[in-house]
Each structure stands twice: as C-alpha cells, then as structure tokens.
Amino acid sequence: MGAAHTQATPPAPSGAHGLGGADPARDARCRRCGHAWRRPSDYPETSATLVDDTPGPAGPAMPLETQDALYVALELVIAALAVAGNVLVCAAVGASSALQTPTNYFLVSLAAADVAVGLFAIPFAITISLGFCTDFHSCLFLACFVLVLTQSSIFSLLAVAVDRYLAIRVPLRYKSLVTGSRARGIIALLWVLAFGIGLTPFLGWNSKDKATSNCTGSGDGSVNKSCCPVKCLFENVVPMSYMVYFNFFGCVLPPLLIMMVIYIKIFMVACRQLQRMELMDHSRTTLQREIHAAKSLAMIVGIFALCWLPVHAINCVTLFHPALAKEKPKWLMNVAILLSHANSVVNPIVYAYRNRDFRYTFHRIISSYVLCQSDTKGGSGQAGAQSALSLGL
C-alpha cells in the first residue's frame, strides 16, 4: 500500500475521453460541441481505447469501437432484409394484375420508401454515426434524408387508412372515387410533400452556427484552420426543436392519431353493418374481408408507431430535460435507431402472414426467379384471388 502512495502519478490528459495533448483552448471548444476531439491522424493509438464514458450511475458500458462494430453489423443485416423484402412486394404487385389495386399502389409507395431506407438511409446513418469531418450542408443532407423517407411512409399509411375507410363507408361509390390513376397522382403529391417537410432544415432551421463555432477563436473571431469544419453527427446539424416541435408534434404524431381514429371508425362502421341487417352470404363475406384487411393495416400502423416512438421519446427528453439527456449512453440511441430502421423489414412479413394471395405471389416469384423452378400451377393467382385482392389485404 505504501509503495502505491509513493509512486509518481502521470498527469491526466486533457481530452474529453482522456486522450491527446494539453491544449485547453481546443478541448474547451470541442467540449462545447458535446463530443470528443478525435482525429485519427493525430491520435492513431486511440481507436482501441475509447469507451462510452457518458456520465451515469452505471459507468462505462462497452468500448465505443465494439458498440460501433455491432451497430454497423446489425444495420447492414436490416438493410439487406429491408431491400429484399420490399423489392419482393413491388415485384409481386407488378407481376400480378390482381394485386394492382389502388390500396396496393399505396403499399408499393410504402415499400419503395422502405427500399430507400435499406439502400440509402441506413448507409447514411452508419456514416453519420461515425462523426467524420465534413462540410455542414453535406452532413445536413445525410441527416435529413431519412426524415424524407419517414414522412413518405407516414403519408402512405395515412392514404391507405383513408382508402380503407372509403371502402367501408361508401362501398357503392368506392370504385368510382378511388381509381388507379388518382392513387398514383396522390402518391406523387405525397412524395413531394415528404421531401418538402424532410428538407425543411435547409431553409434555415438548423444548427449551422452552433456546429461551426468550434472552429472560431476564443473571442476574436479568428478561424482555426486545423479544426474539423463539422463533426458529422445528427444532433450537431439538426436542432432538437425541429425534431420535436415540427417533425414529431407537427408531422408524425397528428397523422398517427388520425389513423387511429380512422381505424376505430372502420371497425365501428363494419360492426354496425353486420349487426343492423341480415346480410346475404356474399355481402357478409365481403364485409368480413374488409374487416380482415383493416386489421392487417392497423397492425402495420401499430408496428410503425412502436418502432418509431422510442426515437422521438429520446428526442423529447433531449430537448426538455437536457441534464438527463447528457446521461444517456450511446448504445441507447443506437438501439432506438435500429428499431426504427427494423420497421422497414416488418411489412412484407405482415403481408405474407396475413394475406394468402401476397403469400402465393411471393412464393411464385421466389420459385421462378430465385430457385429457378418452373411454375407448375400456372395462371396469375389462385381461384378467387381477384375478389380477395381488390380489398388490398
């Protein structure tokens, strides 16, 4: 014990993670960003020693290198499954004329957004999680692209809910009101709106001044030429006020609440119609199929909400309780992001599980184009597929 007390203790390094030389001014500037100053060219030995040292009762949980590797691996798996499953959905609708209904056009729009999540949003998310140095607007685009796809998915789900409500509420006028050409026009409009909403931070609602302030001097306004322009992390470029007030409270939560009300009304109207009169067998079967379709689509909306609400909950905590937000470990945000991206994998599974005609078309496509087996059954679908598929699910 005595020897331990007499041993000389080296001075503690000054970096935010206990790394780097003694440069208080630079460290102070980097701490204002809430992230460690990290340049591989300056500190090549640090990659194996960084840990998640976010203050908290549990202390460091896992080396950041291990967290990042696990996060990237899971993201790549999700991306592959999202692309494969949703390309299959698009191919199924394209291959079967019976599946080419207005409802399924909206589902194809949803699938297209999920394919883009796998091809672009997840690689962008992986890139932005590494905190590399880049210019502000490039980083902002990477951060905003996933917002465009999320908004497009919400709009597609809302369009499907309205479509199903019209099919139940005005069944005799439904086919004249909701046509394929109108559905395609609505989809195009919804994508334009999604891009406008997702790219709103480019109009000025961003953190450019805060993100680039670490490259200015202590008070004289001089620029540190050796400084990283922007450490590309989501919270460095997109303000939480935008994510909470505009994105969540304005563009995500209201459509989800509207969809919940619509599906409640669908079930109420359907139950009243079943109880009010003695329907013919054909009419009763049709209505029961509508109810089954509504249940499937409501399930998709519910899964979407469960997958995305954790991210928005963390954003709300970050905005309204910044002291508490500082204690959140990096792995918690990674799990929330993975859950939101995993939503893109779920929908094809729901279609296959809940609808035999989608399941049949999936099987036919996989057998013909993946397993290279001939389609012995022939035809474009099972008997009675047209009547069932006209309901969407």
CATH assignment of the domain containing 281: 1.20.1070.10
Residue 159 lies in a domain: yes
Flag whether the pTM goes above 0.85. no
- Domain assignment of residue 293, yes or no: yes
* pLDDT for the residue 253: 94
Partnered with residue 231 across adjacent β-strands are 133
Tokens linked to 333:
């945000």
Residue 8 lies in a domain: no
Q: What is the pLDDT, as a whole number, of residue 59? A: 45
**Residue 260 is assigned to a structural domain of this protein:** yes
Is residue 180 a part of any domain in this protein?
A: yes
Helix, strand, coil percent values for the chain (each to nearest 5): 70, 0, 25
3-state secondary structure string across 263-281: HHHHHHHHHHHHHHCCCCH
pLDDT attached to residue 23: 52
Q: Is 158 inside a domain boundary?
A: yes
Q: What is the pLDDT along the chain (393 residues), one digit of tens a residue?
A: 444 444 444 444 444 344 344 454 444 444 444 444 444 444 444 434 444 554 444 444 566 678 888 999 999 999 999 999 999 999 999 988 888 899 999 999 999 999 999 999 999 999 888 878 888 999 999 999 989 999 999 999 999 999 999 988 888 899 999 999 999 999 999 999 999 999 999 998 988 887 666 565 555 555 555 667 788 888 889 999 999 999 999 999 999 999 999 999 988 888 877 766 565 556 667 777 778 888 888 899 999 999 999 999 999 999 999 888 778 788 888 899 999 999 999 989 888 778 888 888 999 999 888 777 765 444 444 434 333 334 445
- Looking at residue 105, its pLDDT comes to 94
DSSP string, 4-67: HHHSPPPPPP-STTS-S---HHHHHHHHHTTS----TTT-GGGTTT-B----STT---SBHHHH
Residue 321: phi and psi, rounded to 5, are: -135, 70
Cβ neighbours of residue 323 under 8 Å, at least 6 residues apart?
A: none
Residue 143 lies in a domain: yes
DSSP secondary structure code for residue 133 in this structure: E
Residue 271 token pair: 């139950």
If we measure between CA atoms, which residue out of 151, 284, 207 comes closest to residue 33? 207
* Nearest to 143, CA basis, from 67, 252, 36, 231: 231
DSSP state of 134: E
What does the pLDDT read at residue 163?
92
Which pLDDT does position 295 carry in this prediction?
Answer: 85
Q: How many domains does the chain have?
A: 1
Q: What is the pLDDT of residue 280?
A: 59
Residue 96 lies in a domain: yes
pLDDT of residue 218: 52
Range of the domain at 146: 55-214+223-389
